[in-house]
Amino acid sequence: MTKIISVINNKGGTGKTTTVLNLGAALQRRRKKVLLIDLDSQGNLTSSFAIEVPKVSIGEVLVDGVPVQEAVQKVDKISLIPSRADLLDFETRLANEPGREFMLREILEPLQQSYDYILIDCPPSLGILSINSLVAADQFLVPMQAENFAFIGLDRILQVTDKVRKRMNNQLELAGILFVKLNPRTKFCQAVVKSITDDVRVGKKMFDTYIRQDIALMESAAFHKTVFDYAPKSHGSEDYAHLAKEILKANE
Ligand SMILES: Nc1ncnc2c1ncn2[C@@H]1O[C@H](COP(=O)(O)OP(=O)(O)OP(=O)(O)O)[C@@H](O)[C@H]1O
Ligand SMILES: [Mg+2]
């Protein structure tokens, strides 16, 4: 069965794209068939691959009815549905579609048999594209930095995901909250991690894995590589490999 995981946080720069790219690569290295979807008009996930500006992007598939298979690109062993900057225009048009929250779910149906994991990189908002990802997904994963006010952002995400679960997708589960860019030795990080772990709603849903701060994760995307190809012995490689293992175990 395909698992569709939405990687979501309405705050910017919390490691969503880095997580989709490197968790996807880690799952692929464990022989899973993986599709990544760039649902962000910033196109950072698409730019992490050495491909040209795509002729068919997620926008045409969502709004113009172009068959989804036409948008899938295979880069090394990972499949990608890319995005372009004009996804913003498609997003505006999507707002007028009847059943607009269900468009992504509908277009992914023909791909269900082809992949073990579909990971969706959301934009930094809880707008219509992110809602589409939650309606299409089995699970959502929240990458988060250990910083002041992280808790408030999490509250908002949990409110929205509760509504989506109630109204549009009763399967939707929290895969887990993932601390990223963590410096586990600082007292401040330890205090934030503890405060979130103590929250009864999420206590059991924290990943055991956390992603340490590691410049190799930043550099690798700039060089159009996954961290496994760029720096196989880095903390980033180790941590994302560990996360993949934890996710596979949870979905056994
Ligand atoms: N563990 C890490 N250690 C160091 N740098 C990291 C780490 N994870 C991500 N980064 C860097 O932090 C920046 C933001 O990460 P990323 O682009 O993955 O976040 P995002 O949530 O997708 O951002 P946006 O909301 O803009 O889409 C990038 O420059 C990325 O390379
Ligand atoms: Mg991003």
Identify the residue whose C-alpha is closest to ligand 1 atom 3: 213
Q: Find the CATH number of the domain harbouring 67.
A: 3.40.50.300
Pairing mode of beta strands 78-81, 73-75:
antiparallel
CA-proximal residue: ligand 1, atom 29 (nearest):
218
Conformation bin of residue 218: beta by default, left when phi > 0, alpha when psi is -120 to 50: alpha
pLDDT at 186: 87
Output the residue whose Cα is nearest ligand 1's atom 9: 15
**Ligand 1 shell residues, CB under 6 Å:** 12-18, 40, 42, 44, 124, 180-181, 211, 213-214, 217-218, 221
Core vs surface per residue 108-144: b (16+ CB within 10 A) or e: beebeeebbbbbbbbbbbbebbbbbbbbbbbbbbbbb
Chain centroid offset of residue 148 CA = 23
What range defines the domain where residue 118 resides?
A: 3-250
List average pLDDT for each run of 10 residues in the chain, which is 252 residues long: 96 96 98 98 95 92 95 94 94 93 96 95 96 98 85 87 97 95 87 80 83 97 96 98 98 90
pLDDT given for residue 3 in this prediction = 97
For residue 13, give the 3-state DSSP assignment. Answer: coil
97: three-class secondary structure by DSSP: coil
User: Which residues place a Cβ less than 5 A from the ion ligand 2?
Assistant: 16-17, 44
| 242 CB burial (10 A radius; 0-12, 13-18, 19+) | middle
Give me the number of domains the chain comprises: 1
Q: Report the pLDDT value the prediction gives residue 203, as an integer from 0 to 100.
A: 64
Q: Are 15 and 145 contacting, i.e. CB atoms less than 8 angstroms apart?
A: yes
pLDDT at 225: 96
Distance 170 CA to ligand 2 centre (A): 26
